Chain A
Amino acid sequence: MRMNGSAMYSMIGINNFNYRRYSFDFFLDSVNRLGIKHIELCGCHPHFTVYEHKNFPVREMAEKIKNHEITVSAVMPEQNFLPVNIAAVNEYLRKQSVEQMKFYIENAKAFDCDKVIIYPGKAFMNYPPSEAWKRSRQSLSELCEFAKKYEVNVLLEGVSNFISSLMTDSNTVKQMMDEVGADNLKCCVNSCTAYYAKETFEDYFKIFGDRIEMVQLSDSVPDNDQLVWGEGEQDFRYHMSVLEKYEYKGAVTMELNMEEYAEDPEKYYGESLAYMKNL
């Protein structure tokens, strides 16, 4: 099938982060209203974190998603805004962060999902990056080992400098994947991360090929990212052509994230989807 905006509709998923001021039920209804079939399940408060319940009712949540005829393409624990950092110099926080990531790995299966997206963690910019790199590697190795038991793939996602300076381009992501050397360590690529590193999806596909198991698309301008599609400088037609060229069969998530989107997320997703349809 030739890739265009309409064809993309059946591939695209959204995530619940922008719906964090609404109940999870509201999010699921909204996904149905938007005609979306897949979600990236975001581990954000107050929907799905270790902070909501002593024992999170995971089965109940999975049941709700199923009842809405929605599938979960990946679990994406929130790691930028919550107090989570797998590369933290503070060892207590690093360990707590690894434990929290394990919570998502061990529960992914309940959602018939085998992919959990992990960020590199953050370094203090005035400390040697090599130390944070080692801590990130240690945490990632630990998580991959743990994930084996649950037949889960850990998807490492490089992030732009706005979030962390540790792995901002395809080369550093590749280097970390090589150093960890785990078969279940795969890769998630985000259009904004590529944009800020002056790279394209093609650079990622050339290096990682079918180890790319998730693609996240959003728009961006030089000082802001994760915008509604059509409001920035990203060339989505080009992105789609790369996915087609490399016969990418995995999931694609429409990743939006501006704080004001939280007031009426359905509106912003609706706008992005309308833009996509006309591509």
Chain B
Amino acid sequence: MNRLKMSQFGVMSVLYQQYSLDYCLDSLAANGFRYVDFWGGATHYCAFDTPPGERKRRVREIRKMMDDRGLKMSVFTAEQICLYPINVASSNPYVRRNSMDIVKQYLEDTKEFGADYYFAQMGYGLFDEDKEETVKRAVESLCQMAEYAKEIGVKMVMEQLQPYECNICYDKETLKYLISAVDSPYLTACVDCVAAAAAGESPLEYYDTFGVINHVHLADGEPTGHMCPGDGSNPLNDYLKVFADRNYQGSVTLEINNQMYFDNPDKAVQRAARWLRENPYVESEE
């Protein structure tokens, strides 16, 4: 039986948004994780909390903080359309232009961080706007991002969102459409197990649709809620079995992101680490 390795797992740092970044990295290292899925939001690091001239210095500083703890960045997941004013498909030209400038900067940061991937987002249209025009703008922007990614040697992964977040990419078919339209090896699929569960899909169907999966988001839920493994009712073992059977070698991010854990993220991550070590589809390397 194939098993996933503990070293394939990481945690998204969004969970630690009420704690300083050094606390977050200490906690992840102490809990035996190798990967950080780095959340780009205030006040850890983002385009809005760092003066433009300070950006490179700050990015190098973060890189060193990870290196010093033996951590590696799997993905740079900048906060974009869900909370922040970054929307590469916006019908407002000012917003769209600024968003593209920020995303290009984030692609450069991804390289400097030594991360495997930048977490691309397709943008969204207002729900009372013309959807076809939004899709056109999204594809055009994603193509520009893929071109720039290729130029500087950075790869991107992208996932589907929830229907209340995005009206142009909310299941595997709409994700497939965008990735195919861009048609670049620099933009591939990430499976979000929570969004899949919410859409009534299984990760297996994502393999069938995309062939290649380069990154996975895993969390428990009811089916949504981005909970710590064990706190919800999603069939996480079934999901892990799918990836183990396919001999998946990529990174898996525990995307625990629910306000109920924000006051003590370390406790949630300790429980998550224990859950992984006791999981039949995960091989502990100690």
Contacts and interface: CB of A to CB of B under 8 A. Distances in A.
Partners in one complex: yes
Contact of A127 (B20, B165, B224): B20
B259 A46 contact: no
Nearest to B49: A93
A126 B266 CA distance: 12
A196 B95 CA distance: 37
Interface of B: 18-20, 23, 41-43, 46, 48-51, 54, 79, 83-85, 87, 90, 92, 94-95, 98, 124, 126-129, 162-165, 167, 224, 259-260, 262-263
Which of A21, A46, A81, A84 neighbours the largest number of chain B CB atoms within 10 Å of its CB?
Answer: A21
Contacts of B79: 83
Interface stretch (A6-14, A32-40, A48-56, A110-118): A48-56
Contact of A260 (B41, B128, B162): B162
Closest 9 CB pairs of A and B: A263-B164, A83-B42, A83-B48, A51-B85, A45-B85, A93-B49, A81-B83, A162-B259, A262-B164
A23 interface: yes
A54 B94 contact: yes
29 contacts: A21-B124, A21-B126, A21-B164, A21-B167, A26-B128, A46-B126, A49-B85, A51-B85, A51-B95, A52-B85, A81-B83, A82-B83, A88-B43, A89-B20, A90-B43, A90-B49, A92-B51, A93-B42, A93-B43, A93-B49, A123-B18, A124-B23, A126-B19, A126-B20, A127-B20, A162-B260, A162-B262, A259-B162, A262-B165
A52 B94 contact: yes
Contact of B127 (A22, A51, A92, A123): A22
A22 B85 CA distance: 14
Given A23-B129, A52-B95, A93-B49, 14 more contacts: A21-B124, A23-B128, A25-B128, A46-B87, A52-B92, A83-B42, A85-B43, A88-B49, A89-B20, A92-B50, A124-B20, A125-B19, A165-B263, A262-B164
B56 to A, nearest CB: 15
Given A45-B85, A46-B87, A126-B20, A83 B49 contact: yes
Interface string A81-124: 11111001110110010000000000000000000000000111
Contacts of B46: 83
A223 B227 CA distance: 12
Contact of B48 (A54, A96, A125): A96
Interface in A40-94: 45-46, 49, 51-54, 81-85, 88-90, 92-93
A93 B41 CA distance: 12
A255 to B, nearest CB: 16
A175 interface: no
A172 interface: no
A21 B98 contact: no
Contacts of A138: none
A223 B20 contact: no
A171 interface: no
A209 B51 CA distance: 42
A22 B126 CA distance: 5
Interface of A: 21-23, 25-26, 45-46, 49, 51-54, 81-85, 88-90, 92-93, 96, 122-127, 161-162, 164-165, 223-224, 259-263
A270 to B, nearest CB: 17
A21 B262 contact: no
A90 B169 CA distance: 35
Nearest to B48: A83
Contacts of B42: 83-85, 88, 90, 93
Contacts of B98: 51
Contacts of B262: 162
B77 to A, nearest CB: 15
Nearest to B266: A126
Contact of A82 (B84, B94, B165, B167): B84
Contacts of A46: 85, 87, 90, 92, 95, 126
Nearest to B170: A263
A199 B264 CA distance: 23
A126 B24 CA distance: 10
Nearest to B90: A46
Given A88-B43, A127-B20, A83 B84 contact: yes
A93 B19 CA distance: 16
Contacts of A90: 42-43, 49
B99 to A, nearest CB: 9
Nearest to A123: B18
Contacts of A53: 92, 94
A223 B260 contact: yes
A147 to B, nearest CB: 23
A24 to B, nearest CB: 9
B89 to A, nearest CB: 12
Contacts of B129: 23
Nearest to B129: A23
Contacts of A23: 126, 128-129
